[in-house]
Amino acid sequence: MSLDEIDWTVQRVVDVESPSDADFARWIAAVDARVPLAGELTLRIVDRDESHTLNEQWRGKAKPTNVLSFGYGDVPELLGDLVFCAPVVAEEARAQGKAFVDHWAHLTIHGLLHLSGHDHELSSEAEIMESEEIAILATLGISNPYETQHAA
């Protein structure tokens, strides 16, 4: 697994528990091994207020969310940005009975698949994207997150 084509950084703008850079590197590499990635990537870890503002501005939803993906498909040197709301991710992991780091891995992989062109608006697209997520997570020794997920 190589990260040669990806220039990535983590911006931690809140002082809360979050994965290490080494964790993010493993997850990016796992996606890259299956779905080649290239370009600049920013992983930004934020609080509820910033997530709420971005989610409302870009998706019309007036609440914070676990992860937002911002792709720049027309600019090949930019892979995109993933914005994680750390408090929401932690709450979801607890509520769903998942290991903290496993839930972060899933959401990182989910966001990276969005940046690589996957979507889940249609059920057929969702099946493909979820299959990719499950396969990539399996390479990391993480079980299928959809089998243990509580109904939202």
Whether 102 is covered by a domain: the verdict is yes
How does DSSP classify residue 4?
T
Q: Give the pLDDT band of residue 148 (cuts 50, 70, 90).
A: low
Contact by Cβ (8 Å): 129, 118: yes
Whether 127 is covered by a domain: the verdict is yes
What whole-number percentage of the chain has pLDDT above 90? 78
Whether 1 is covered by a domain: the verdict is no
Q: What is the mean pLDDT of the chain?
A: 91
Residues 25-61 pLDDT 10s: 999 999 999 999 999 999 999 999 999 999 999 999 9
Residues 61-82 pLDDT 10s: 999 999 999 998 778 889 999 9
The reported pTM is 0.91
The CATH number that applies at residue 106 is 3.40.390.30
Range of the domain at 119: 6-148
**137 burial type by CB count under 10 A (0-12 exposed, 13-18 middle, 19+ buried):** buried
Q: Which residues contact 63 (CB under 8 A, 6 or more apart)?
A: 52, 55, 56
| DSSP-derived 3-state class of residue 32 | helix
Residue 147 has pLDDT above 90, yes or no: no
Whether 60 is covered by a domain: the verdict is yes
Count of domains for the chain: 1
CA 52, chain centre distance (Å): 17
